[in-house]
C-alpha cells in the first residue's frame, strides 16, 4: 500500500507526462472497445435482419443465394415459384402466415418489391420490431407505393410523389413502365434493413405493369393495355420470386422444411434465415477480425508509448531512487514501485477509456441506428470485454517490468549515491 502511494505521488510530480500517457492509453482502449462493440452490434443487427420468420422458400439454388436475393435484394433468382405451389404450401395446417415477394423491377437504382399487406403486418426485424411508418399508410390502390427511408431521403420524395418503375434491376434502364405510374402513399421509418432501400407495391401491381409485356418488351400498338383497363383484368400472379413463412409451432420447422425441399411439383428450397445469415456472416467475418487486429495494435502502440515515457525519465530519477534507498527502500521495493506506476497508468487509462467509449456511444447511437441500422446498447461490458481490459492491464505490468528491471539493476549499482 505504501509503495502504491509512493507510485501515485511520483506520477503526480510528473503529472503532465503521466496525463498524456493516460490519454494515449484511454484513446486506444476506447478505439478497441468501440470497434468490439460495433462489431458485436453489427453482427447482431445483421443476423436479425429478419426476425420471427421461420422459413424462406424459393426456387432450388443455394441457401446463401436465396438469402441474398430474398432478404438483401442482391442478385436474382434462378427461377420463380409457381403461384399454385405457393397456395398449396401455405394451406398446410402448421403455417400461421405467409409473405409472398416478387422481384425483378427497379426505380432509379432501388429494387421494387411486390408483396401483400402481410408484409407490413408480419415482417419483423431486430428482436421482433415491426415496420412502422414515418408518414402515410400501406398501399390500398392498385397503383400505390410505399417507399423505404433511404429511398425517401436520397430521392427527396414525399407523399403524393409520382414515380415510374423500370423493367429490370439495372441502375440505368430505358425500359420504363411509364404508362402506369405509381403514387407514394407511405414512407417507412428507418430500420437498417433492405426495406429502407426498397419500393414496395402490391403483387397485383406487378402483374398490371407487365400485363402487356412480352419477352421483356412492351406489346406494340393495339396490344398495349393502359392503366385503367388493367384494373379490370384478372391480376392474380402466375409466379412469385420467393415467400416467407411463419409457423404455428417451432417444432414443426424441420418437418416443413424437409417437406418443401422434397416438394414433388417443382424443385424448391426452404432455408432457416438465422442459419443462413450465420453462414453468410462467417464468410464476411474477415473484415471484422481485421478491424479488431488493427485496434489491438493501436492499444499496443499506447502501451509502448507508456514504456517510452517511463524509460525517458528513468535516468532523471536516479536521485529519487538514491533518496528512497537512504530511507530504507530495498532494490525489490524500487522494482515494485516501477511496476506499480505502470499498473496505475494503465488502470487509469482503461477506466478513462471505458468512460469515453460509453460517452461516444451515447452521442453517436442515434446516428448509427438511423443511417447504418446498427443499434449499440449501453449494457455493461461483456465477459469477453472484461478479459480484454484485464489483458491490457496485465500487458502494461509486463511491459512495465522492463524499466522496473533497469531501475532495480541501477539501484544495486548506485546504492545510496548517484553514479555516472
Is residue 170 within 8 A of residue 130, CB to CB? The reply is no
Of 184, 180, 169, residue with least CA distance to 207 = 180
Top pLDDT among 321 and 135 is at 135
Query: From CA 8, how far away is CA 348, in angstroms rounded?
Result: 11
pLDDT value of position 298? 79
Mean pLDDT confidence for 399-404: 73
The DSSP result for 346-407, as a single string, is HHHHHHHHHHHHHHHHHHHHHHHHHHT------PPPPHHHHHHHHHHHHHHHHHHHHHHHHH
The residue among 53, 32, 176, 39 whose CA lies nearest residue 119 is: 53
pLDDT at 329 over 60: no
> What average pLDDT does range 214-228 have in this prediction?
70
Span between the terminal Cα atoms of the chain, in Å: 32
pLDDT band at 314 (very low <50, low <70, confident <90, very high): low
Pairing of strands 198-202, 110-115: parallel
174-192 average pLDDT score? 88
Closest among 168, 200, 207, 167 to 184, alpha carbons compared: 200
Q: How confident is the model at residue 315 (pLDDT cuts 50, 70, 90)?
A: low
Query: Which of 12-26, 144-158, 403-417 bottoms out in mean pLDDT, i.e. has the lowest?
Result: 403-417
- To which residue does cell 500517457 refer? 21
Q: Which has more confidence, 16 or 250?
A: 250
pLDDT grade, residue 416 (50/70/90)?
very low
Whether the predicted pLDDT of 246 surpasses 90: yes
Q: Which pLDDT score, from 0 to 100, does residue 415 have? A: 47
Amino acid at each position: 500500500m505504501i509503495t502504491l502511494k509512493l507510485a501515485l505521488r511520483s506520477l503526480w510530480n510528473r503529472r503532465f507526462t503521466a496525463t498524456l500517457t493516460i490519454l494515449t492509453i484511454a484513446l486506444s482502449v476506447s478505439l478497441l472497445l468501440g470497434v468490439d462493440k460495433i462489431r458485436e452490434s453489427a453482427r447482431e443487427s445483421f443476423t436479425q435482419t429478419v426476425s420471427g420468420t421461420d422459413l424462406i422458400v424459393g426456387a432450388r439454388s443455394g441457401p446463401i443465394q436465396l438469402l441474398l436475393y430474398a432478404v438483401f435484394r442482391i442478385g436474382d433468382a434462378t427461377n420463380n415459384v409457381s403461384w399454385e405451389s405457393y397456395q398449396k404450401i401455405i394451406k398446410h395446417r402448421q403455417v400461421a402466415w405467409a409473405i409472398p415477394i416478387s422481384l425483378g423491377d427497379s426505380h432509379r437504382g432501388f429494387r421494387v418489391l411486390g408483396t401483400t399487406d402481410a408484409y407490413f403486418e408480419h415482417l419483423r426485424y431486430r428482436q421482433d420490431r415491426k415496420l412502422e411508418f414515418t408518414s402515410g399508410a400501406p398501399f390500398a390502390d392498385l397503383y400505390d407505393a410505399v417507399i423505404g427511408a433511404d429511398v425517401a431521403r436520397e430521392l427527396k420524395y414525399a407523399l403524393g410523389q409520382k414515380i415510374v418503375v423500370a423493367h429490370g434491376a439495372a441502375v440505368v434502364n430505358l425500359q420504363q413502365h411509364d404508362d402506369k405510374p405509381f403514387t407514394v402513399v407511405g414512407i417507412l421509418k428507418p430500420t437498417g434493413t433492405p426495406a429502407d432501400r426498397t419500393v414496395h407495391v402490391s403483387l397485383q401491381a406487378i402483374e398490371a405493369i407487365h400485363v402487356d409485356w412480352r419477352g421483356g418488351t412492351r406489346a406494340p400498338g393495339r396490344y398495349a393495355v393502359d392503366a385503367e383497363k388493367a384494373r379490370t383484368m384478372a391480376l392474380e400472379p402466375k409466379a412469385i420470386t420467393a415467400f416467407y413463412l411463419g409457423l404455428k409451432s417451432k417444432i414443426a420447422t424441420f418437418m416443413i422444411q424437409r417437406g418443401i425441399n422434397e416438394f414433388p411439383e417443382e424443385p424448391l428450397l426452404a432455408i432457416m434465415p438465422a442459419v443462413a445469415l450465420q453462414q453468410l456472416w462467417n464468410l464476411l467475418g474477415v473484415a471484422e477480425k481485421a478491424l479488431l487486429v488493427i485496434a489491438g495494435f493501436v492499444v499496443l502502440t499506447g502501451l509502448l508509448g507508456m514504456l517510452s515515457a517511463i524509460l525517458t525519465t528513468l535516468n532523471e530519477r536516479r536521485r529519487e531512487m538514491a533518496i528512497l534507498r537512504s530511507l530504507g527502500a530495498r532494490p525489490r521495493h524500487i522494482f515494485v514501485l516501477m511496476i506499480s506506476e505502470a499498473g496505475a497508468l494503465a488502470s487509469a487509462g482503461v477506466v478513462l477509456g471505458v468512460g469515453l467509449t460509453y460517452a461516444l456511444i451515447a452521442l453517436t447511437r442515434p446516428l448509427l441506428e438511423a443511417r447504418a441500422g446498427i443499434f449499440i446498447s449501453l449494457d455493461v461490458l461483456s465477459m469477453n470485454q472484461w478479459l480484454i481490459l484485464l489483458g491490457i492491464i496485465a500487458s502494461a505490468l509486463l511491459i512495465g517490468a522492463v524499466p522496473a528491471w533497469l531501475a532495480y539493476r541501477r539501484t544495486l549499482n548506485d546504492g545510496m549515491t548517484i553514479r555516472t
